[in-house]
Amino acid sequence: MIKLIVFDLDGTLINTIADLSAATDYALSRRGLQTHSIEDYTKMVGHGIKRLIISALEKSLGCSPQETLTEECLKDFTEYYVKHIDVHTRPYEGMPELLRELQDKGCRIAVASNKFQQGTEKLIQEFFSDIDFIAIMGNSPELPLKPDAEVVNYILKKAGVSREESIFVGDSPTDLQTARNAGIDSVAVTWGFRPREVLLDATHLVSSPKELRELLLSLI
């Protein structure tokens, strides 16, 4: 029986790609650099915002950026993104209702994201304010980014549940590797930012929020 479900945020609970793209393009365009398509950005996100900026700069410049340029773009990105974080961002259909249903059935719920902590908390508060998350974990200096298992280990300890009673839901190979590193089962969702073919080694694979609901309700 599953007692704890850890969710990734971007690409799993909410669709953030348009606002992430706009913020990155803003930082690039301020320096006269080539901007990129949303399709391009879906291949860059998921490893924290600094890695996103580096990937975007590499594609624009055709080489690795200097650290000074990366930090300047990161500063512009963050300032823009915090102000425009919810222009296009919305939960995927059915996800708020699913979290409420899981909570009503006594399941503990947590979020583990590589998004910076301020942005993670702001989006959770806006779209899932009625959910009593056991933990809301974004990128912070205290813990390494996924796929390191430390964020999941922290959540498990805080929730007081075993690895056998926990499962991780995400949309990327990074999420699946996080689950493996933590020794827990995984669910891959195919509506996020990565193609289905890179998610086939998940414990479970679902193609719609309805399928995810049916699976999770069968496990708790």
The CATH homologous superfamily of the domain defined by 17-83:
Putative phosphatase; domain 2 (1.10.150.240)
The answer to whether the CB of 138 falls within 8 A of the CB of 13 is no
In DSSP notation, 5-37 reads EEE--BTTTEE-HHHHHHHHHHHHHTTT-----
pLDDT in tens, 100-146: 999 999 999 999 999 999 999 999 999 999 999 999 999 988 899 99
Q: Is the peptide bond before 147 cis (omega within 30 degrees of 0)?
A: yes
8 is catalytic: yes
pLDDT in tens, 146-166: 999 999 999 999 999 999 999
Q: Which of 8, 10, 19, 175 is catalytic?
A: 8
pLDDT in tens, 27-83: 999 999 999 999 999 999 988 899 999 999 999 999 999 999 999 999 999 999 999
**Quick one: fold of 4-15+90-219?**
Rossmann fold (3.40.50)
pLDDT band at 219 (very low <50, low <70, confident <90, very high): very high
pLDDT in tens, 198-218: 999 999 999 999 999 999 999
Q: Where are the domains of the chain?
A: 4-15+90-219, 17-83
Average pLDDT of the chain to the nearest whole number: 96
